[in-house]
Structure 1
């Protein structure tokens, strides 16, 4: 069956990372795009050769040519759009973070469970070759038994990962759930769950050190996995330019794997392995999602897995359910 997509929220993330990939995957076609600003939706459709555009979500959801939606709005709108799509039987592929908090993620998971449609969360690094290679190294016991994982993401206010005005939606907690941590850490923490399985317990704290935005800019957290592996993470978005770092170290009994979640290399002990990412970095995941929607494989990232991730993020920020969807 061909999956005919409509995009809700055709903003920056859809320009290259995801949008063009929907027409490059077998049995997949991008039919329509929607944005509340109809002129911007029309402009996107024109530039990307998409046949239809909408300024109203209900109109697009009821387009008979569409059987799946990709939700790429700010997180505050993920839950209502997903619930509306699932209710009428449209498959859903929803961006990260899946919702503002774990409570909302649970609501989405419950709706997906009773819907005749399917839902996948866009933790797309699971399908990117670099991160698949790391899983292979772990599964092959390349560094022995894993003992601990140390992760650090420290960025200055001028870093490309956090570039933009101080008023952008990523640092408005009522729209994003928090700050840059909520935008970037889902990629990192999801990989930890993908690699190491279920957590036993987790805790952390966060604070707004620089007070440049309404969002906390320093987050710290620890996880004990049921396997006995420990994780320590530090996220700081107010360091000097010379102190920036993006590094994850997985330490085992026979060596370690080092990589940057937002980079293109793996270091296995003293061996450097470099990668070129796909032109559209979400394309491998979208291909898996299409196959899942067509009953050809299992779910590449379920709503239940995203609930666990959001529970960890809530614990790290001491901020469960402070904000709810618009």
Structure 2
């Protein structure tokens, strides 16, 4: 079975990554784009060779050639658009972070389950070769029991209010600052490597920028396996940082930057740096897994419950920041 795709939302990710990945995936056809501005949907359809353009979401979801949708709209629309797609019998691959909060995530999961369609979240970094290697090393006990970790995602927000991406720092369109945005990818990796989160304590403040969401967020997460992780995120530092470190009873896994291709494995006094290049289009392995497995009647590697784990941590951090308490997630 070939999978006909509709892409909901005509932004940068849909343009540069999602549409090219769908076109490259051998079991997929790019059928249509949806935008609330018809001319934009037509522009994207023409650029990427899609057959149709819609400015009516219900019309796209009723298109008989569409079997799956990629929800690439701003975060505040993920829940309603996913539920609409599920009710129309369409499989859903949703942009990250999954939704505004855990309750929305659960509604999305329930709707897809009730309507018998698959739901996954676009945490594509799980498909990086370095992530797969790190997961294998942890599972085989190469660094012993993981007891502690550290994540740092620091940088500076420079986009003005007239930029199409400004919704990412607008309350109501986004659920938070860097923690919810790029940080959600790293929190998802924590759950991929270590399992479910148990509790979180954090701070979230706006210290330097004139934006509606926090520009500095710091949290400590305790995972159900017992490991502690410190996670730092900022939108107001001039020096960027992208570090991901896991420490075990026998060694460590180190990546700086995480989005680079190198993974350093430390065991005792031995230190080895592995080069593990990723696909040129980082969305392709995600799209390939989702479409390929659905075309064969199988379930994608990761489901909505997997995608919700990062949101559990994000919600916990913000609740802790409001209440001053450690929050079970």
Alpha-carbon distance between aligned partners in 2 of 1:315 and 1:205, rounded to the nearest angstrom: 10
Structure 1 residue 192 displacement after superposition: 0.6
Q: Could you say which residue in structure 2 is the equivalent of 1:324?
A: none
Q: In the TM superposition, what whole-angstrom CA distance separates every residue of 1:20-43 from its partner, at most 9, and x where no partner exists?
A: 111211211111111111111111
TM-score normalised by structure 2 residue count: 0.90
Structure with the larger RCO, 1 or 2 (CA within 8 Å, 6+ apart): 1
SS in 1 for 2:277: coil
- Is 1:237 aligned with 2:238? no
Shift in alpha-carbon separation, 1:319–1:38, aligned structure 2, 3 A: farther
2:168 counterpart of 1:170: yes
Aligned to 1:74: 74
The answer (yes or no) to whether the contact 1:128–1:285 under 8 Å persists in 2 is no
Matched, 1:255 2:215: no
| Structure 2 residue 84 is matched with structure 1 residue 84 | yes
1:293 matched residue in structure 2 = 294
Contact 1:166/1:213 (<8 A) preserved: no
1:190-215 C-alpha deviation (Å, 9 max, x unpaired): 11111101222222221111142111
Q: Which residue pairs with 1:57 in the alignment?
A: 57
Is the Cα–Cα contact under 8 Å of residues 154 and 242 in structure 2 kept in the other structure? Answer: yes
Task: State the alpha-carbon separation in 1 of the partners of residues 230 and 13 from structure 2.
Answer: 29
Rounded to whole Å, the distance in 2 between the matches of 1:319 and 1:252 is: 27
2:273 pairs with 1:276:
no
Count of residues in Structure 1 that have an aligned counterpart in Structure 2: 313
SS at match of 2:202: strand
TM-score by length of structure 1 reads 0.90
Inter-partner Cα distance in structure 1 for 2:65 and 2:92: 15
Equivalent residues of 1:75, 1:99 under 8 A apart: yes
CA deviation profile, 1:124-182 (whole Å, cap 9, x unmatched): 1111222111112212222222121011111133xxxxx53256111012111122322
**Equivalent position of 1:323 in the other structure:** none
In structure 2, relative to structure 1, the CA distance for the partners of 1:16 and 1:299 (3 Å cut) is same
User: For the structure 1 residues 114 and 33, does the alpha-carbon distance in structure 2 shift closer, same or farther, using more than 3 Å as the test?
Assistant: same
